Amino acid sequence: MDEIVRENLDCDILIIGGGTTGCMAAVEALEREPSLRVIVLEKAHVDRSGCLAAGMNAINAYLNPGETPESFTRYVRADNRGLIREDLVLSIAELLNSTVARVESWGLPILKDADGNYRRRGRWNIRINGESLKPILAEAARKAGARILNRVVATNYLVDGGQVIGAMGFGVRDAKFYTITAKATICCTGGASGIYRPNNPGAAAHKMWYPPFNTGAGYAMGLRAGAEMTSLEMRFIALRTKDTICPTGTLALGFGAKQVNSLGEEFMVKNFAELGGNGAPTPYRVYGPIREMQLGRGPVFMDTRHLSAEKARNLRAAYLDMYPNIVLYWAANKFNPSREPVEICGTEPYIFGGHCQAGYWIDVKRRTTLPGLYAAGDVAGGAPYKFVSGCWAEGIMAARAAANECAKTPRADSKQVHDEADRVFRPIRRTAAGCGGIAPSEMEARLQKVMDEYAGGVKTYYEMNEASLKVAAEQVERIHRQVRYLLANDPHELMLAHEVIDRVEVSRALVQHLLYRRETRWPAYQTRIDHLELDDINWLKFVNSRQGPSGEIRIIEREYEQIVAGDRYRG
C-alpha cells in the first residue's frame, strides 16, 4: 500500500453517525449555538443511511391525549419486565411530543383525523407518511450548518488521559485516514445486526430487519476505550414476517391482525391471558409464537383474512412507506393477505438500545462514563422503547450537554494516531503484500455460526445455558485472536473487515453478559434454559461491563432505582 494520505480536522462537536439521532443532535447543537463548528461523520450518505433508509410509517413513542411521562414510564417498565433506567425513560418522555412537532414543521406528513388530531395507531403510536423522513432530517442538519462528511467510517476514539477528544477513521471513497479532534464527541452509530446468523442464508442473507450496515461500531469503539456498557444480554428478537423480515406492528396495531398457530388457535390469548394476551409484554409476543413452533404447532401467522380488498390495499400502501420489498414479495408470489394469513417468525437477535436497552451506560444528560463522550439513540443503553422519537429526544439531550460542556482545546496524541492508522489499514497492507488470510465474509460466517449455535440464536429457539455460553466465549476469543489475519482488496472490503472486527468485539462482551445474568428476565430475548425463573431477589439490577487495559471483560453490577410509584409489572 502507498503512503497513507491523512486528513486532520478540528471541531467543537463531533457527531459520529448521521442517522436519526445524529442529524437531530446536529440541528439542536447549532440552533442553540450557531457559532459551534459541528462535524457529522457518516459511513454511508446521510440522505439514506441507518434505520430510516427506506422510511417509516409510524412514530412509535408518542404521548397521545391522556398519557403522561409517568404513564409512559410505567408502561415501558412493565413491557421490559420491571427493569429499566426510569430516569432516562422519563427524560425522553418529556421531549417526545415537542420533537415530533419539530420534525413535522420540517415537512414530515403526519396523518390526522377529521378534527385535525394526529391519527393514533395503538396507545403510544401515531401514523405518518415517513418515506422521506431521512432526507428531511439530513436536510435540516445541512441547513443548520453542520459539516457533513459522508463515506467516512469511524474506527476508534481519540483519547487523552481518559478524556475522549474526537475520533479516527478512514474514507471509503478517498481511502484517507481521518483524525478529527473535538471538544465534545457524541456517539450515534446505532446498534448491531449480523452478530448472529440471520434468518435467511445465502443470496437472501441481508433480508433482515435491523440495518445490516449498523454493525456495532459505537459499542466496539466504546469497549476498546474502556467505556461502561449495560444490558447487552437484553437482545432484541423481533416478531417479523417470514422471509422478508418485515415489521408486524403495521399488521397488529394498524390492521388488527391476531397471532394464530397452524391449528387456528389464538395462542397468545390462550397461554398468556394473565399477561395481557395479544397485549402481553413485547418479549412474550415473540416468545409465544416461538414456543408454538417448538411444540410442533407451527407455522404461525398474523391473521389478516378479515381485511377487505380495500384494507389490504391500504396495508400495502402503508408498507411502501417503510418496507417496500414485502409488497414486491407478495406480488411475486401471488400472495393475497385478504385470503391467506401472513406467516411470521422470530428474527436473529439484534443488539441495540432503541427497542431493548443494550448500550452505553449514560447519565440523564447522556454522558457516558468517559469524559467528553456522549451517547444517544440505539447505541445508548438503559432506556428501551425509544424508537424514532425517543432517539430524537436523546440526540437533543446529548447535544445540549455537549454544547454546554465542551471546553478544552484537544490535541491528538501522535503515537495513538500512528498506531490506529496502522491497525486500520492492516487488512489492505496484508493483501498487497500477498499474505494469506481470512476474508471478512468468512469471519462473519464463522462468528455468526458460533453465536447462533452456542449463544442462543434462531437455531436453538434462542435458548442457551452456561455450558453452551462457555463454548461460545471460547470460540469468540479464538476468532478475536485471528482478526489480525483479515484481508481487504479495496476500501469497501476494508469497511467490511472493520465491520466484522467490531462485531467480534461486541460478541465478546455480549457472551459475558449472557453468562452473568443467571435468571430469565426477558423470555426469548434472554432465555437461560438453566435458570428459567425471573428472580427479583437476586437479579433486579443491571449487568454492566467494561473492557480492561489488556482486553479482558469485567462485569460490574449497577443498582436499579424505582422512581415512578406503582406495580413494576403493570403498565
Partner 1 sequence: MRINREKRGPGCGEFADEAAMDRALVEAGLGTCNDCRGLDEPRCVEVCPGDLMAVHPETGAVYCRSDADCWDCFACVKACPRRAILVRLPYELADYRAALIPRVHKNSITWSLVKPDGEIETFEVVTRKER
Closest CA to 392 of 378, 405, 406, 374: 378
d(CA 496, CA 491): 9
d(CA 336, CA 342): 9
* Residues between 332 and 361 that touch ligand FAD (CB under 6 A): 354
Q: Which one of partner 1, ligand FAD, none is in contact with 16 (Cβ closer than 5 to 8 A by kind)?
A: ligand FAD
Q: Which one of ligand FAD, partner 1, none is in contact with 26 (Cβ closer than 5 to 8 A by kind)?
A: none
Residue 214 makes contact with ligand FAD by CB under 6 A: yes
Residue 244 makes contact with partner 1 by CB under 8 A: yes
What are the DSSP E strand ranges found in 111-221?
126-130, 147-150, 152-160, 163-171, 177-187
Site track 206-235 with partner 1 (rule: CB under 8 A), x = hit: xxx--xxx----------------------
Alpha-carbon distances, residue 230 vs 147, 234, 382, 543 (angstroms): 31, 9, 7, 6
Residue 539 makes contact with ligand FAD by CB under 6 A: no
Residue 142 makes contact with partner 1 by CB under 8 A: no
Residue 49 makes contact with ligand FAD by CB under 6 A: yes
Q: Which one of partner 1, ligand FAD, none is in contact with 354 (Cβ closer than 5 to 8 A by kind)?
A: ligand FAD
Residue 151 makes contact with partner 1 by CB under 8 A: yes
Q: Exposed, middle or buried, 114 (CB in 10 Å: 0-12/13-18/19+)?
A: exposed
* Residues between 284 and 323 that touch ligand FAD (CB under 6 A): 322
* Residues between 183 and 212 that touch ligand FAD (CB under 6 A): 188-190, 209-211
d(CA 417, CA 430): 20
Q: Which one of partner 1, ligand FAD, none is in contact with 403 (Cβ closer than 5 to 8 A by kind)?
A: none
Contact present, 141 and 26 (Cβ < 8 Å):
yes
- Helices and strands in the chain: count of H runs, count of E runs: 17, 19
* The only residue of 44, 180, 451, 488 in contact with ligand FAD, by rule CB under 6 A: 44
* The only residue of 23, 29, 30, 44 in contact with partner 1, by rule CB under 8 A: 44
User: What is the DSSP secondary-structure string of 320-336?
Assistant: HTT-THHHHHHHHTT--
- Backbone conformation region of residue 544, classed left if phi is above 0, alpha if psi is from -120 to 50, else beta: beta
- Backbone conformation region of residue 4, classed left if phi is above 0, alpha if psi is from -120 to 50, else beta: beta
Site track 143-172 with ligand FAD (rule: CB under 6 A), x = hit: ----------xx------------------
* The only residue of 59, 141, 326, 344 in contact with ligand FAD, by rule CB under 6 A: 59
Residue 172 makes contact with partner 1 by CB under 8 A: yes
Give the residues across from 229 on adjacent strands.
360, 545
Residue 324 makes contact with partner 1 by CB under 8 A: yes
Give 172 or 412: the residue with its C-beta nearer to partner 1.
172
* Residues between 236 and 255 that touch ligand FAD (CB under 6 A): 247
Residue 332 makes contact with partner 1 by CB under 8 A: yes
Q: Which one of partner 1, ligand FAD, none is in contact with 108 (Cβ closer than 5 to 8 A by kind)?
A: partner 1
d(CA 493, CA 248): 34
Determine the Cα angle at 42 with ends 203 and 29, to 5°.
145
Q: Which one of ligand FAD, partner 1, none is in contact with 101 (Cβ closer than 5 to 8 A by kind)?
A: none
* The only residue of 32, 48, 297, 449 in contact with partner 1, by rule CB under 8 A: 48
* Residues between 10 and 29 that touch ligand FAD (CB under 6 A): 16-22
Q: Which one of ligand FAD, partner 1, none is in contact with 190 (Cβ closer than 5 to 8 A by kind)?
A: ligand FAD
Q: For ligand FAD, which residue has the nearest CB?
A: 19
Give 58 or 511: the residue with its C-beta nearer to ligand FAD.
58
Contacts 24+ apart (CB under 8 A), 320-323: 320/131, 321/55, 321/56, 321/57, 321/128, 321/129, 321/130, 321/131, 322/54, 322/55, 322/56, 322/57, 322/130, 322/131, 322/247, 322/250, 323/54, 323/244, 323/246, 323/247
d(CA 314, CA 77): 33
Residue 200 makes contact with partner 1 by CB under 8 A: yes
Residue 329 makes contact with partner 1 by CB under 8 A: yes
Alpha-carbon distances, residue 131 vs 100, 110, 349, 480 (angstroms): 15, 11, 26, 39
Least Cβ distance, residue 44 to partner 1 (angstroms): 4
Q: Which one of partner 1, ligand FAD, none is in contact with 321 (Cβ closer than 5 to 8 A by kind)?
A: partner 1
d(CA 16, CA 220): 13
Residue 445 makes contact with partner 1 by CB under 8 A: no
* The only residue of 321, 420, 453, 505 in contact with partner 1, by rule CB under 8 A: 321
Give the residues across from 42 on adjacent strands.
150
Locate cell 422512581: which residue?
563
What's the full length of the chain, in residues?
Answer: 571
Give 42 or 463: the residue with its C-beta nearer to ligand FAD.
42
Least Cβ distance, residue 309 to ligand FAD (angstroms): 25
User: CA torsion 84→391→277→315, rounded to 10°?
Assistant: -170
Contact present, 34 and 96 (Cβ < 8 Å):
no
* The only residue of 50, 359, 372, 491 in contact with ligand FAD, by rule CB under 6 A: 50
Residue 60 makes contact with ligand FAD by CB under 6 A: yes
Query: Under the rule (CB under 6 A), what is the footprint of ligand FAD?
Result: 16-22, 41-44, 49-52, 56-60, 153-154, 188-190, 209-211, 213-214, 217, 247, 322, 354, 377-379, 386-388, 391
Query: Under the rule (CB under 8 A), what is the footprint of partner 1?
Result: 44-45, 47-50, 53-54, 104, 107-109, 129, 131-132, 136, 151, 172, 200, 202-208, 211-213, 243-244, 313, 316-317, 320-321, 324-325, 327-329, 331-334, 492, 495
